[in-house]
A and B are shown apart, each in its own frame.
Chain A
Amino acid sequence: MKYLILLFVLSIAGIASADEGLEILQKRCVGCHDIKGPAAQSVQELWQRKGPDLFYAGSKYNSEWLEKWLVTPRRIRPAGYHAIQHIQQGKKRDMIDTTTLRPHQGLSASEAEEVTKTLMTLKASAEIMSTAVFKGGNISASFGEMVFEKFNGCVACHEIEPGYGGLSGPEVYTAAKRYQADYLVSFISDPQLWNPKTPMPNKHVAAPNIQKIVQYLQVLAKENWDEKK
Chain B
Amino acid sequence: MRKNKLRLVLFFLLLMFSSAIWSDEAEDNYKNYCWQCHGMTGDGMGLNVQDMSVQPRDHTSAKAMGGRNDADLFKVIKEGGLAIDKSVLMPPWGDSLSDDEIHGLVKYLRKLCQCS
Q: Which residues of A contact B (CB under 8 A)?
A: 43-44, 46-47, 79, 83-84, 87-89, 92-96, 150-153, 155-157, 164-169, 190-192, 196-199, 201-204
Contacts and interface: CB of A to CB of B under 8 A. Distances in A.
Contacts of A87: 35, 40, 47
Interface residues of B, number: 29
B42 to A, nearest CB: 11
Listed residue (A47, A83, A92) with the most chain B CB atoms within 10 angstroms of its CB: A83
Q: Is the interface of B mostly helix, strand, loop or mixed?
A: loop
A131 to B, nearest CB: 14
Contacts, number: 97
Given A84-B32, A156-B37, A166-B36, A202 B92 contact: yes
Contacts of A197: 32, 96
Contact of B46 (A94, A152, A198): A94
Contacts of A192: 95-96
Contact of B36 (A44, A165, A168, A204): A168
A44 B51 contact: no
A7 B115 CA distance: 74
A153 B91 contact: yes
Interface string B30-66: 0111011101110001111111100000000000000
Interface of B: 28-29, 31-33, 35-37, 39-41, 45-52, 80, 87-89, 91-96
A203 B39 CA distance: 21
B51 A199 contact: no
Contacts of B87: 153
Contact of B45 (A83, A93, A150): A93
Nearest to B90: A153
B93 A94 contact: no
B48 to A, nearest CB: 4
B45 A204 contact: no
Contacts of A166: 36-37, 47-48, 51-52
A94 B45 contact: yes
B32 A156 contact: no
Given A47-B32, A84-B40, A168-B46, 5 more contacts: A46-B32, A96-B47, A166-B47, A192-B95, A203-B92
In the A-B complex, list the 7 residue pairs whose CB atoms are closest, starting with the nearest. Answer: A168-B36, A201-B91, A166-B48, A202-B95, A153-B89, A93-B45, A153-B88
Contacts of B41: 89
Given A89-B40, A89-B41, A156 B52 contact: yes
